[in-house]
Amino acid sequence: MANVWYAYGLEAMEDFLSYDEEDSNTDDVKIMEQIIHTASKYLPEEDIRKIQRAYIYAAQAHVGQKRLSGEDYIVHPLRATQILMTLKPDAVTIQTCILHDVIEDTDITHDDIKKEFWQEIADLCEWLVKVSKVRYHGEDRQIE
């Protein structure tokens, strides 16, 4: 943890550690606006458009899907992306996080993601599906 505090600042680490899913906004558009606002501080406009494209694609893929809590399914990958934003990730990482459940929870395939985005994002999404199937004995699933 000390290395993360050094690299990203104590404030970013405190935000990450204090994240409470129950208190988060469930409006996907507002969450996405926050992600774009944060990303715009350090990424070029071209990357912001790529991130927005990933959001539109994922939102369309998950349309009508609900979590057990009743919230729209797209909220989960966006919340995961919010957490990720404390580390100032690149556009590919942000796109992958937004898209990370599309292959697992919709009819969209690895090849579909590859055609729409590119090989690296498709591969990362597929690998995340495999990681999600790993069971962490006694550990919170958020560790993935």
Q: Of residues 15, 47, 71, 104, which has the active-site annotation?
A: 104
Catalytic annotation on 47?
A: no
Catalytic annotation on 104?
A: yes
Annotate the chain with three-state secondary structure: CHHHHHHHCHHHHHHHHCCCHHHCCCCHHHHHHHHHHHHHCCCCHHHHHHHHHHHHHHHHHCCCCECCCCCECCHHHHHHHHHHHHHCCCHHHHHHHHHCCHHHHCCCCHHHHHHHCCHHHHHHHHHHHHHHCCCCCCCCHHHC
The catalytic residues are 104-105
